[in-house]
Amino acid sequence: MADEQTTAEPWTIGRLLTWTTDFLRGKGADSPRLDAEVLLAHARGCQRIELYTAFAEEPAEAVRTAFRELVSRRAMGTPVAYLVGQREFFSLSFEVTPDVLIPRPETEQLVVRALDLAKEMKSAEPLKIADVGTGSGAIAVCIAKHFENCSVTAIDISPAALDVARRNAEKHGVAERIKFVAGDLFSTLSSTEKYSLVLSNPPYVSSEEMADLAPDVRDYEPHLALDGGEHGTEVIERLIAQSPGYLLSGAWLLLEVGATNAERVEALISQDSELELQETLKDIAGLPRVVQAKRK
């Protein structure tokens, strides 16, 4: 779009997308075409699919100006989800800000497993579930949305993240079944609280791996939600140690992990006298993703 004022050829939606895709590819974007489409749809105030029936349309100057600003910030590294303020997860749209981790498709496996287990647990009373390190609230909201007979406690150490999670719960109509708790893991909960299911997508990137993350992750997403310390298990170790005290007998603990520390997490659970290690679930790439345990 740099030559926008010097060319006679109109800047149609189709041309804007083509130019921007090439530009972002040159800046090292992993998905330049998708980025271009999401940003232009946001600037135009429409759904991305609507762009495909409007390739010949020439957007108004205000739209092009907004789009140029978004593309410029994306080229400098800002994640698309932060630029447009939302990300889809489990077929729902979630507000995201730099205070929360951007939900990943891989985490949907954790939600699927939690929902499967919840449906297997027959209970007249609402099933009590804890989402530790809720961030944007994506996991808690999806479970409450797809499994009505439950009450979810969503815990996060960041008050700013909890504000985002509350708004997402309200947006999707499940706020009345989610209790939001500010605290470091279970530290602010009563010892009488017991859950049938505790799940978490905790920080699991090792300090060494942090340096090798893609710049748009390393430089923009909250390190509090990413950095798991020297081995990537600093938070997980504390969570495993605390969990038995908040799990009912036979209740489940589900942890999303990284491929490089899954075995270490399995070993930590195996060493805990109150937990029984279950089969670790692999993601679509065949990598270990969800470590499971049951309270003995």
Encode pLDDT of 152-207 as tens digits.
999 999 999 999 999 999 999 999 999 999 999 999 999 999 999 999 999 999 99
User: Which residues are documented as binding site?
Assistant: 133-137, 156, 201-204
Report the pLDDT value the prediction gives residue 86, as an integer from 0 to 100: 96
Report the pLDDT value the prediction gives residue 1, as an integer from 0 to 100: 55
Among candidates 255, 211, 207, which has minimal Cα distance to 231?
A: 207
Residue type, 227: D
Count of domains for the chain: 2
User: Which residues are documented as binding site for S-adenosyl-L-methionine?
Assistant: 133-137, 156, 201
Question: Is 198 inside a domain boundary?
Answer: yes
Report the pLDDT value the prediction gives residue 7, as an integer from 0 to 100: 56
Q: Are residues 55 and 26 in the same domain?
A: yes
Q: Are residues 237 and 99 in the same domain?
A: yes
User: Which residues are documented as binding site for substrate?
Assistant: 201-204
Structure tokens at 175: 């706020």
Q: Are residues 188 and 232 in the same domain?
A: yes
Encode pLDDT of 205-258 as tens digits.
999 999 999 999 999 999 999 999 999 999 999 999 999 999 999 999 999 999
Q: Are residues 156 and 281 in the same domain?
A: yes
Q: Are residues 113 and 54 in the same domain?
A: no
Over 97-153, what HEC string results?
Answer: CCCCCCCCHHHHHHHHHHHHHHHHCCCCCCEEEEEECCCCCHHHHHHHHHCCCEEEE
Question: Is 1 inside a domain boundary?
Answer: no
What predicted TM-score, i.e. pTM, was given to this entire model?
0.91
Q: Are residues 199 and 139 in the same domain?
A: yes
Q: Can you give the residue range of the structural domain that contains 33?
A: 13-76
> What band does 3 get if pLDDT is binned at 50, 70 and 90?
very low
Q: Are residues 34 and 138 in the same domain?
A: no
Domain boundary among 76, 103, 123: 76
Report the pLDDT value the prediction gives residue 122, as an integer from 0 to 100: 77
Q: Are residues 31 and 96 in the same domain?
A: no
| CA 96 – CA 79 distance, rounded (Å) | 11
Instruction: Tell me whether residue 99 is exposed, middle or buried, using C-beta atoms within 10 angstroms of its C-beta: 0 to 12, 13 to 18, 19 or more.
Output: buried
Question: Is 204 inside a domain boundary?
Answer: yes
